Amino acid sequence: MRKLLKLFKQNRSLIIFVSLMLVFRSAVADWNSVPTGSMKPTIVEGDRLLVNKMAYDLRVPFTHISIAQLADPQRGDIVIFDSKASDKKLVKRVIGLPSDSISMRDNVLSINGETIAYSATGVASADGSETRTEHLLGINHQVKVAGIAGQGMITRQSSFGPITVPEDHYLVLGDNRDHSSDSRMIGFVPRSEIVGRSNSVVFSANYDNYYLPRQERFFHSL
């Protein structure tokens, strides 16, 4: 015990700093690396996201226990959640809110009976997929799809529903619609699993080019 006390006294400043940093990362803000392309073109492999952990809840550090609810996730938010269904931390976009009726036909979303509009960006990939702007009821963002409304290749993930989002749950999708493990596979996301929201990339490493930094993506807004 005396040795531990002596060690603490000798390194008190460092121990306090590390402890406060861990508490800060657990309850206030953190960063999250993205290893897959499920959120392309918005987020690419190697991006490191800034995560606001106080966007929705004030939590007890190192737990999911909410002390106070500060806000609710909104449609279009990019959220980070600890998925029990997939047993990993995931990054997806909120599409459906509690009580929403959601359906998708050939990669075209409908929310509460309103068909979502899409516009072409002129960006096409070698695999036949297209990048389009999804006008998500006032939130415009890009999605990558295999085909829309009969154009291009349609995959088994291109259609579902209609389904109703239950209370205290959210329907989330990846922006890379045909290559994302999201609510179409893991089900609705409980609010309690959502740990934060991201609005920007802090750092990005190019996995295909010796992990060299992508300077153009530093502090890139999402």
Distance CA 137, CA 49 (A): 25
Query: What is the structure's pLDDT at 149?
Result: 43
**36: exposed, middle or buried (Cβ count in 10 Å: 0-12, 13-18, 19+):** middle
> For 113-148, b where at least 16 C-beta lie within 10 A, e where not — what string?
eeeeebeeeeeeeeeebbbbebebeeeeeebbbbbb
Distance CA 41, CA 131 (A): 8
Give the CB-side neighbour count of residue 19, counting CA atoms within 13 A.
Answer: 7
Query: What is the structure's pLDDT at 152?
Result: 46
Higher pLDDT, 61 or 11: 61
Higher pLDDT, 55 or 209: 55
Distance CA 116, CA 100 (A): 14
pLDDT surpassing 80 at residue 8:
no
Could you read off the pLDDT of 93-152 as tens digits, one per residue?
999 999 999 999 989 999 999 999 999 887 767 667 889 999 998 899 999 987 544 444
Nearest C-alpha neighbor of 145 from the set 117, 179, 172:
179
The beta-strand segments (E) located in the chain are 29-33, 47-52, 57-59, 66-69, 78-83, 88-96, 101-105, 108-111, 114-115, 117-124, 130-136, 139-145, 147-148, 151-152, 160-164, 169-173, 189-190, 194-206, 212-213
Distance CA 56, CA 93 (A): 15
Could you read off the pLDDT of 37-71 as tens digits, one per residue?
999 999 999 999 999 999 999 999 988 899 999 99
